[in-house]
């Protein structure tokens, strides 16, 4: 898309410079720490699967055992490798022996060199599987394509994975290009991932490896029927962020919600835990060819969209800077934003278009994720359908990459399948009718759209330089994003953060860094 807003290149340069400094500081902090969830993800990637008789995942039983308390600062890999060599068991068998109390992880005696080679070989095999899964996705895309962008993104959230499959297939046949399975309410606060396929969830369906596999299989089937590859989306967030990213990589998810600040602001997860987990989870997504979606759209549900638009742009710059330094490429950055202004405000549509066009021009290679109006949706479904039509028009005329469909019953209940069908029908009609509108228009040099974009960019520049000066932790403590303040020592999950010892070793991380050509080793 040709630039239309004549944005100040110096302001954009200053934003990226400040965001880069913030990202470097955050990643330095993360590089000096590990977490329980990173170590669990490492065990999953080297082959630990299953749960004990009580349904507790084996990775949790290993990382939570008494011996692990002193082991985790050095990484779980070496101690677990020694246990594997000592027992002669595979990864899952060794983990089960720990869970059953038959093996004390801290007393496993084996040669260090042999243990390192055993785990390093498993890490290399995990890297090979990462590459194979990405290759399988690319083969589907080469053969079937995925249709024009914006990709139409539809949510299913029945609580039952098998019912989700039925709804997803109907949506694909009606035109959906991305299916997002919404997680059961508050799963992000669980410090474990349930096992197996699930049929009961509140407000969504539990994210599990089995559920990922069920939906991926179903979408592959309907992709063949529809003649286009359908992407699957779920969450790599919450207290199990690194594990979710790892399971998504294993089961060929294509899109995962993975934001640097969302869990801190909206789930009160400790910022030290979140930002440390973030670095590892994004490394996994980078190696797996997964598109991440960020959550800036949520800022405008707690702050005013007219006054706080610059905080969205500032966060997009920070998310971009962290992601690129974790090995993600621009085409993997589904930076989030939303249409959340009061629909009764004069020129609301012009201001929303200014924000969307500005984001498109600043991040030209990124498949921006555009969220529908929700804050001002009411029980009036007819007005809601019009709001969603305006959203679809703004999306197509500003070249967004991923378009989350609005539902006219948003404020009433979890949308029914016919609500989704109507949303797809209306969105496809609007986007077909206005497909090339942008190519036929430009914005007045002294008009409201250009003025609004310049104003938002200028305020984002000031904000980013302020965050750079005071540090991201301090900025979060002062409530600079979404009008929500958090403490570095508050929230959930801080006990799971461990300062790395001098001998920390994680061969899985090393393999992933090699896969995306990032410098540095875990030791």
In tens, the pLDDT along 126-180 reads 999 999 999 999 999 999 999 999 999 999 999 999 999 999 999 999 999 999 9
pLDDT of residue 517: 92
pLDDT of residue 133: 96
Distances (CA, A) of 96 to 62, 154, 158: 8, 39, 33
> Do residues 222 and 215 make contact, with C-beta atoms less than 8 angstroms apart?
no
Question: Per the residue annotation, which of 235, 262, 370, 421 is the catalytic one?
Answer: 262
**Is 69 among the catalytic positions?**
no
pLDDT of residue 308: 95
Which stretch of DSSP H or E encloses residue 117? helix 112-144
274: Cα separation from own chain's centroid: 12
**DSSP one-letter string for 423-440:** HHHHHHHHHHHTTTTGGG
Distance, in Å, from the CA atom of 269 to the CA atom of 120, rounded to the nearest integer, reads: 32
Please, what CATH class does the domain formed by 149-452 belong to?
Answer: alpha beta
pLDDT of residue 74: 97
Distant-in-sequence contacts of 456-459, Cβ < 8 A, 24+ apart: 456/309, 456/310, 456/313, 456/354, 456/355, 456/358, 457/7, 457/8, 457/11, 457/12, 457/15, 457/310, 457/313, 457/358, 457/362, 458/8, 458/11, 459/309, 459/310
Asked if residue 247 has pLDDT above 80, the reply is yes
Residue 364 burial (CB count, 10 A): 12
Q: Give bridge partners of residue 178 from the DSSP assignment.
A: 153, 231
pLDDT of residue 109: 79
**Is 64 among the catalytic positions?**
no
Half-sphere exposure of 203 (CA within 13 A, CB side): 6
- Tokens 């004390």 sit at which residue? 104
pLDDT of residue 64: 97
Distance, in Å, from the CA atom of 99 to the CA atom of 62, rounded to the nearest integer, reads: 7
pLDDT (average), residues 307-331: 97
Q: 411-415, 419-423, 469-473 — which is least confidently predicted?
A: 411-415
Residue ranges, CATH 3.20.20.440, the chain: 149-452
Q: With cut-offs at 50, 70 and 90, classify the pLDDT of residue 522.
A: confident
pLDDT (average), residues 343-359: 97
Which stretch of DSSP H or E encloses residue 156? strand 151-156
Decide: helix, strand or coil at residue 474.
Answer: helix
Distance, in Å, from the CA atom of 309 to the CA atom of 315, rounded to the nearest integer, reads: 10
Of residues 244 and 69, more confidence is placed in 244
**DSSP one-letter string for 360-393:** HHHSTTS--EEEPP-TT--S-HHHHHHHHHHHHH
Question: Per the residue annotation, which of 64, 369, 388, 500 is the catalytic one?
Answer: 369
- Tokens 């948003």 sit at which residue? 410
pLDDT of residue 414: 84
Asked if residue 319 has pLDDT above 90, the reply is yes
Q: With cut-offs at 50, 70 and 90, classify the pLDDT of residue 1.
A: confident
Edge-to-edge strand ranges of the sheet holding 333-334 = 333-334, 291-293, 255-257, 231-235, 178-181, 151-156, 402-404, 369-371, 336-338
Q: With cut-offs at 50, 70 and 90, classify the pLDDT of residue 189.
A: very high
Cis geometry, peptide bond prior to residue 184 (ω within 30 degrees of 0)? no
| 231 closest CA partner among 329, 138, 356, 132 | 138
Task: State the SS3 of 251-303.
Answer: CCCCEEECCCCHHHHHHCECHHHHHHHHHHHHHHHHHHCCEEECCHHHHHHHC
Distance, in Å, from the CA atom of 236 to the CA atom of 207, rounded to the nearest integer, reads: 10
- Tokens 């090393």 sit at which residue? 510
**DSSP one-letter string for 207-250:** --HHHHHHHHHHHHHHHHHHTS--EEEEE--GGGHHHHHHHHHH
Distance, in Å, from the CA atom of 523 to the CA atom of 517, rounded to the nearest integer, reads: 17
Question: Per the residue annotation, which of 164, 297, 419, 510 is the catalytic one?
Answer: 297
Tally of helices (H runs) and strands (E runs) in the chain? 20, 11
| 17 closest CA partner among 5, 27, 9 | 9
Q: Give bridge partners of residue 369 from the DSSP assignment.
A: 336, 402
Half-sphere exposure of 290 (CA within 13 A, CB side): 35
pLDDT (average), residues 53-66: 96
Mean pLDDT rounded to a whole number for the chain: 96
pLDDT (average), residues 366-388: 96
**Is 102 among the catalytic positions?**
no
In tens, the pLDDT along 79-103 reads 999 999 999 999 999 999 999 999 9
- Burial of residue 84 (CB within 10 Å: 0-12, 13-18, 19+) is buried
In tens, the pLDDT along 249-277 reads 999 999 999 988 999 999 999 999 999 99
pLDDT (average), residues 432-447: 95
pLDDT of residue 503: 92
Asked if residue 30 has pLDDT above 80, the reply is yes
Asked if residue 20 has pLDDT above 90, the reply is yes
Distance, in Å, from the CA atom of 64 to the CA atom of 68, rounded to the nearest integer, reads: 6
The rounded percent of the chain whose pLDDT value lies above 70 is 100
Round the CA-based radius of gyration of the chain to a whole number and report it. Answer: 23
How far is it between the farthest Cα atoms of the chain? 75
């Amino acid at each position: 898309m040709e630039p239309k807003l004549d944005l100040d290149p110096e302001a954009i340069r200053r934003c990226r410079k400040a965001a880069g400094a913030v990202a470097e500081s955050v990643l330095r902090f993360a590089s000096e720490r590990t977490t329980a969830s990173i170590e669990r993800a490492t065990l999953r990637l080297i082959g630990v699967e299953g749960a004990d008789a009580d349904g507790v995942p084996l990775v949790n039983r290993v990382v939570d055992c008494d011996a692990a308390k002193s082991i985790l600062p050095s990484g779980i890999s070496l101690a677990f490798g020694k246990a594997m060599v000592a027992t002669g068991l595979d990864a899952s068998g060794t983990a089960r022996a720990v869970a059953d109390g038959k093996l004390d992880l801290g007393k496993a005696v084996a040669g260090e060199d042999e243990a390192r080679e055993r785990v390093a070989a498993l890490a290399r095999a995990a890297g090979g599987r990462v590459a194979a899964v990405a290759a399988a996705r690319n083969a589907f895309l080469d053969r079937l394509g995925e249709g024009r962008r914006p990709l139409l993104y539809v949510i299913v959230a029945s609580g039952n994975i098998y019912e989700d499959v039925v709804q997803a297939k109907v949506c694909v046949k009606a035109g959906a290009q991305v299916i997002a399975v919404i997680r059961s309410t508050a799963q992000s606060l669980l410090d474990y991932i349930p096992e197996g396929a699930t049929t009961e969830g509140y407000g969504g369906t539990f994210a599990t490896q089995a559920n990922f596999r069920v939906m991926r299989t179903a979408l592959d089937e309907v992709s063949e029927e529809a003649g286009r590859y359908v992407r699957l989306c779920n969450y790599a967030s919450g207290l199990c962020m690194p594990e979710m990213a790892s399971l998504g990589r294993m089961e060929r998810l294509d899109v995962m919600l993975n934001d640097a600040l969302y869990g801190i602001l909206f789930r009160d997860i400790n910022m030290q835990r979140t930002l440390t987990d973030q670095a590892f989870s994004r490394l996994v997504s980078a190696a797996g060819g997964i598109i991440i979606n960020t959550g800036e759209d949520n800022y405008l549900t707690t702050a005013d969209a007219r006054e706080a638009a610059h905080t969205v742009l500032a966060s997009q710059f920070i998310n971009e800077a962290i992601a690129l330094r974790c090995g993600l490429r621009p085409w993997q950055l589904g930076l989030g934003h939303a249409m959340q202004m009061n629909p009764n405000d004069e020129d609301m549509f012009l201001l929303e278009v200014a924000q969307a066009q500005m984001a498109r021009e600043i991040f030209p290679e990124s498949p921006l994720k555009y969220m529908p109006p929700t804050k001002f949706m009411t029980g009036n479904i007819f007005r809601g359908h019009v709001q969603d039509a305006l959203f679809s028009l703004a999306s197509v005329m500003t070249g967004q990459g991923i378009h989350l469909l609005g539902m006219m019953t948003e404020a009433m209940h979890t949308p029914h399948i016919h609500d989704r069908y109507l949303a797809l029908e209306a969105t496809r009609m609007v986007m077909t009718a206005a497909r090339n509108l942008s190519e036929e228009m430009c914005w007045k040099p002294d008009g409201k759209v250009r003025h609004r974009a310049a104003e938002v960019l200028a305020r984002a520049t000031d904000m980013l330089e302020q965050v750079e000066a005071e540090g991201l932790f301090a900025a979060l403590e002062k409530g600079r994003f979404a009008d929500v303040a958090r403490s570095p020592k508050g929230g959930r999950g801080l006990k799971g953060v461990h300062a790395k010892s001098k001998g920390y070793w994680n061969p899985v991380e090393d393999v992933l860094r090699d896969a995306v050509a990032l410098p540095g080793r875990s030791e």
